[in-house]
C-alpha cells in the first residue's frame, strides 16, 4: 500500500512551499488509495514554538488536508536510541567525542527521482554524525528510522533536500532498509529569487490570507494551473483538486507571484455566494446591489472589504448624511442638463465626487471623464445606474 507523509518542524509559520509539499503528498495518497501521515519534527526543543504547531494543524484543517495518523518525533527517542545502540553494537556506528558517527562504507553515485530521473551525487561523504553530543539524533537519522517503521513508500520534498536524500540513503543501506520513491519538487522563491523561509513573517501563509487570497486560488497556484484548466475541468471543490495528477507539477522554480494568484482570486471571488461574503464582512444584511457592483471590481476579499470600509466607515456614510448626498447627486444631474456650470456647483463636494467615481469606475486610476460617461449613458440611464448602486448605502 502507498504511504506518504508531511513532516514539518514547529519552528515557524507555514508558507506556500510547505503547503505545496503537503498538498502533493495528500493528492498522491488520494489518487492511489493510500495513507497520509503527519509527522511533527520537534526534536530540536530550542526552536519549537507551540503557536507554530497550532498554525500547522489549523492550516492543514483549513485546506481540508486530512491525515490518517499524527506522530511527534519528540516522543520516539526510545526508538532512536535503540537503533543507534544497535548500530554501535554491530560496529556500523561509533562514539567520538560524545557524538555518534555512522561508518560510511560506500557512496551512492546517483539515485532515481520519480520526477527528475537520475540525480548524480557530486559529493563524497565521509563518516557523519547521526547523534549529537547533547544526545539528540539528527534530522536525517530520525527521518530514516521513522520512514522505515511507518512503512513510508513515497516522499515529496523540496529540491534543497537532495543532499539529505543521499545521506539518508547511506543510512538506509547500512541498516538494510528499502529505498523509497522520492519526488524532489522545485522550490517556491520569494520576489527576490531567494528560498522562502518560514521564519520570515512576510512569507508565511498568514500574510497571504491577509491579502484576501482564497484557498482555491492558492491550490491552483500550487498545481501550476491556468483559468482554462479550471473551466474545462469544472473544478469547484477541494475533492476535485486533490484528485489531480502530481505530474502537473512544473519542474521550474517559481517566484511567489501575488499577481498570478489574484487572477485566480478574481475568478473564484465572483462565484462566491453573497451570503457567505456578508458573513465575512461581519454584516448580516448587505444589499444585493452592493455585491452586484463591487464583486466585479474586486480581485481579492481584502479589496472587497476595503471598498466597504472606505465608502461606509471612513467617509462616514450615515443614513441621514447620505440622504443629503443623494439629493446632491440628483441635483447635479438636473443642473448639468440645464447647462449650469459644473465646477461651481459640484466640485466643492468631494464626497459626492468620490461616490460617483466609484459608481461608474470602481477604483481604476485612469478614468475617462465623469461628465463624458454620464453624457454617453444619457440622463435616465445614469440616474438608474446611480439608484441601483446607492441602495446598499441608504
Distance CA 147, CA 138 (A): 14
The tens digit of pLDDT for each residue in 207-228 reads 778 777 888 888 877 776 555 5
Does residue 161 register a pLDDT over 80?
Answer: yes
Q: Structural domain boundaries of the chain?
A: 3-189, 273-394
Fold of 3-189: Rossmann fold (3.40.50)
Confidence (pLDDT) at 393: 42
Q: Which residues contact 116 (CB under 8 A, 6 or more apart)?
A: 184, 251
Neighbours of 114 (CB within 10 A): 15
For 146-184, b/e burial (b = at least 16 CB within 10 A) is bbbebebbbbbbbbebbeebbbbbbbbebbebeebebbb
Distance CA 323, CA 309 (A): 19
Greater pLDDT, 337 or 117: 117
Report pTM: 0.73
The tens digit of pLDDT for each residue in 235-269 reads 555 566 676 666 666 666 666 666 777 778 887 88
340 pLDDT band (50/70/90 cuts)? very low
Q: Across the chain, how many H-helices and E-strands are there? A: 18, 12
42 pLDDT band (50/70/90 cuts)? very high
Query: To the nearest whole number, what is the mean pLDDT of the chain?
Result: 76
Q: What is the dihedral of CA 367, 369, 372, 373, to 10 degrees?
A: 30
Distance CA 313, CA 55 (A): 32
Confidence (pLDDT) at 220: 78
Q: Average pLDDT, stretch 38-64? A: 91
Least confident among 97-106, 132-141, 246-255, 314-323 = 314-323
Cα 125 off chain centre by: 36
Q: Which residues contact 142 (CB under 8 A, 6 or more apart)?
A: 41, 43, 73, 76, 80
Distance CA 254, CA 260 (A): 11
The tens digit of pLDDT for each residue in 294-316 reads 666 677 777 777 766 655 554 44
Amino acid at each position: 500500500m502507498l504511504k506518504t507523509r508531511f513532516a514539518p518542524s514547529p519552528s515557524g509559520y507555514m508558507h506556500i512551499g510547505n503547503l505545496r509539499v503537503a498538498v502533493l503528498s495528500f493528492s498522491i495518497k488520494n489518487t492511489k488509495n493510500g495513507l497520509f501521515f503527519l509527522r511533527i519534527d520537534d526534536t530540536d526543543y530550542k526552536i519549537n514554538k507551540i503557536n507554530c504547531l497550532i498554525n500547522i494543524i489549523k492550516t492543514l484543517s483549513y485546506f481540508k488536508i486530512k491525515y490518517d495518523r499524527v506522530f511527534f518525533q519528540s516522543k520516539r527517542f526510545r526508538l532512536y536510541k535503540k537503533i543507534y545502540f544497535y548500530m554501535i553494537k554491530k560496529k556500523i556506528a561509533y562514539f567520538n567525542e560524545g557524538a555518534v558517527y555512522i561508518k560510511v562504507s560506500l557512496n551512492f553515485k546517483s539515485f532515481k527521482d520519480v520526477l527528475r530521473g537520475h540525480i548524480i551525487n557530486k559529493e563524497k561523504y565521509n563518516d557523519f554524525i547521526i547523534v549529537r553530543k547533547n544526545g539528540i539524533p539528527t534530522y536525517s537519522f530520525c527521518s530514516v528510522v521513522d520512514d522505515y517503521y511507518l512503512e513510508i513508500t513515497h516522499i515529496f520534498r523540496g529540491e534543497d533536500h537532495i543532499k539529505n536524500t543521499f545521506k539518508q540513503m547511506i543510512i538506509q543501506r547500512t541498516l538494510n532498509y528499502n529505498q523509497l520513491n522520492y519526488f524532489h519538487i522545485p522550490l517556491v522563491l520569494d520576489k527576490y529569487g531567494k528560498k522562502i523561509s518560514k521564519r520570515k513573517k512576510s512569507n508565511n501563509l498568514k500574510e497571504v490570507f491577509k491579502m484576501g487570497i482564497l484557498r482555491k486560488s492558492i491550490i491552483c497556484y500550487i498545481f501550476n494551473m491556468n483559468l482554462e484548466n479550471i473551466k474545462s475541468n469544472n473544478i469547484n471543490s477541494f475533492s476535485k483538486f486533490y484528485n489531480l495528477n502530481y505530474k502537473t507539477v512544473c519542474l521550474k522554480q517559481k517566484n511567489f507571484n501575488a499577481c498570478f494568484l489574484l487572477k485566480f482570486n478574481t475568478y473564484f471571488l465572483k462565484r462566491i455566494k453573497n451570503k457567505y461574503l456578508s458573513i465575512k464582512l461581519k454584516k448580516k444584511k448587505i444589499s444585493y446591489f452592493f455585491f452586484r457592483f463591487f464583486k466585479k471590481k474586486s480581485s481579492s476579499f481584502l479589496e472587497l472589504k476595503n471598498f466597504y470600509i472606505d465608502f461606509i466607515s471612513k467617509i462616514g456614510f450615515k443614513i441621514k448624511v447620505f440622504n443629503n448626498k443623494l439629493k446632491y447627486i440628483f441635483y447635479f444631474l438636473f443642473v448639468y442638463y440645464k447647462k449650469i456650470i459644473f465646477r461651481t456647483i459640484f466640485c466643492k463636494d468631494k464626497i459626492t465626487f468620490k461616490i460617483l467615481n466609484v459608481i461608474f469606475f470602481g477604483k481604476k486610476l485612469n478614468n475617462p471623464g465623469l461628465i463624458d460617461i454620464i453624457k454617453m449613458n444619457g440622463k435616465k440611464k445614469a440616474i438608474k445606474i446611480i439608484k441601483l448602486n446607492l441602495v446598499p448605502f441608504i
